[in-house]
Every structure is written in structure tokens, then in C-alpha cells.
């Protein structure tokens, strides 16, 4: 997967690529020209470099914060029936936005720290070990972190929108008021029909 390639280095032959070295936060691998990959996990967590441990912690924090942000965001949506009133939902949505922003910052910091180490080793003339270049996973991480921050900001604006546009009440005039008004108008119209006179024989 492209998310596995945090840093990549290739050894080119005269015609084809002989081997491709790539690594991430958990393992380092080499892929030969036939497409067969041999991977090796890092032997000990305590023996790792400090920047790898920091990147691991930041990425794990980003994933956990993203999960809780998704839960709070689901509760804060107006289309759900949980969370209480609209004011309460707006506060929950704002909290979800803050969590998403923190998640994006953690992910962006992790990718930037890893990329800074790669570039510093690549341009260091005294570094004689294998030199790597930026992998596809770093660009995916930067894009995802940016989307997280933008989405969290949109969630935070929901509480401002809810406070600036209070709900207005509308009076409802039912059908009874219309009927009563028509009855009043009908009663106010004088009856112009002349009275009828009946003979005494009509009552027999």
C-alpha cells in the first residue's frame, strides 16, 4: 500500500531497478526487481531513534483523537436524535471540531518530523549510510491532516452560527379562526328578504 512507504530509496542498474528500499514507523523492507519484498521489524522499541518513537506516539494519538472526534461529531449532528437541544448539539459539534483539529495537528507534526529527518540526512555530506527520499505516505498524511483541520474548523463554526441565528417563533392561525371570521361577516350582513305573510288557513 502507498501508506507503507514513508521513505524510499532505489538502487538503479544499467537497464532496470535492482532493488527498492523502503521503511515506515514499524519496519524496514527491500523489494527486488521481481517484486518480492523482504521485511524486517524493528528489533526493540527502546533501541529506536527518538524521532521514530515520537512519530509513533503522535500518529497513535491522532488516530485515537480522530475516533473520539467522529463519535462526538455524530452526536452533535442535527439529523440525530441524541444529544439534547440544538444549543447542546452545537456545543458538542464544536468539541468534535476541536478534537479533529488536534488530530490533524498531531498527524501533520508526525509527518513533518519524519520528513525533516529524511531531508537532513539526505543533504548531510557526512552521512554515509543509505539515504532515502520522501515516500507517498508522507504526502497522504499531510493531505489528510489538512482535511482534518479544515473539517474541524467547520465544526467549530456551527456554534457561532447557532448563536447568531436564534430560532423565531411563528403564530399559527388554525381553521377555526377562519371559520369564526366568516361567521362574523355573515352575521353582520343584514337580511334583505321581505317577511312572508301567511293566511290563517295555512296553519290548519
Cα distances from 70 to residues 46, 64, 81, in angstroms, run: 33, 10, 16
Residue 162 confidence (pLDDT):
63
Q: Are 50 and 56 in contact (CB under 8 A)?
A: no
d(CA 152, CA 147): 8
* 3-state secondary structure at position 42: coil
Q: Which residues have C-beta within 8 Å of that of residue 88, sequence separation ≥ 6? A: none
Residue 21 confidence (pLDDT):
86
Q: Which residues have C-beta within 8 Å of that of residue 169, sequence separation ≥ 6? A: none
Q: What is the pTM of this model?
A: 0.70
Considering only 13-17, 49-53, 169-173, which range has the smallest mean pLDDT? 169-173
For 54-184, list the strands marked E by DSSP.
133-134
Q: What is the mean pLDDT of residues 114-131?
A: 87
Residue 69 confidence (pLDDT):
92
Residue 60 confidence (pLDDT):
94
The order of strands in the sheet holding 7-12 is 37-41, 27-32, 17-23, 7-12, 133-134
Q: Where are the domains of the chain?
A: 2-164
> Does residue 111 or residue 168 have the better pLDDT?
111
d(CA 180, CA 9): 87
Q: Which class does domain 2-164 fall in? A: mainly alpha
Statement: residue 173 has pLDDT above 70 = no
Considering only 62-71, 114-123, 134-143, 152-161, which range has the smallest mean pLDDT? 152-161
Amino acid at each position: 500500500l502507498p501508506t507503507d512507504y514513508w521513505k524510499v530509496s532505489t538502487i538503479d542498474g544499467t537497464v532496470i531497478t535492482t532493488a527498492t528500499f523502503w521503511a515506515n514507523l514499524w519496519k524496514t523492507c527491500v523489494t527486488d526487481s521481481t517484486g518480492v519484498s523482504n521485511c524486517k521489524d524493528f528489533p526493540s522499541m527502546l533501541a529506536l531513534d527518538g524521532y521514530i518513537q515520537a512519530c509513533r506516539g503522535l500518529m497513535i494519538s491522532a488516530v485515537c483523537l480522530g475516533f473520539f472526534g467522529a463519535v462526538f461529531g455524530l452526536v452533535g449532528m442535527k439529523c440525530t436524535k441524541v444529544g439534547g437541544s440544538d444549543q447542546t448539539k452545537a456545543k458538542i459539534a464544536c468539541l468534535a471540531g476541536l478534537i479533529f483539529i488536534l488530530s490533524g495537528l498531531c498527524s501533520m507534526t508526525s509527518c513533518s518530523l519524519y520528513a525533516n529527518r529524511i531531508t537532513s540526512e539526505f543533504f548531510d555530506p557526512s552521512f554515509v549510510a543509505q539515504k532515502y527520499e520522501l515516500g507517498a505516505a508522507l504526502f497522504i498524511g499531510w493531505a489528510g491532516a489538512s482535511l482534518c483541520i479544515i473539517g474541524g474548523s467547520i465544526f467549530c463554526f456551527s456554534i457561532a452560527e447557532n448563536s447568531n441565528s436564534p430560532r423565531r417563533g411563528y403564530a399559527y392561525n388554525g381553521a377555526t379562526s377562519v371559520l369564526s371570521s366568516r361567521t362574523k361577516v355573515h352575521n353582520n350582513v343584514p337580511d334583505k328578504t321581505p317577511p312572508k305573510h301567511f293566511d290563517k288557513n295555512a296553519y290548519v
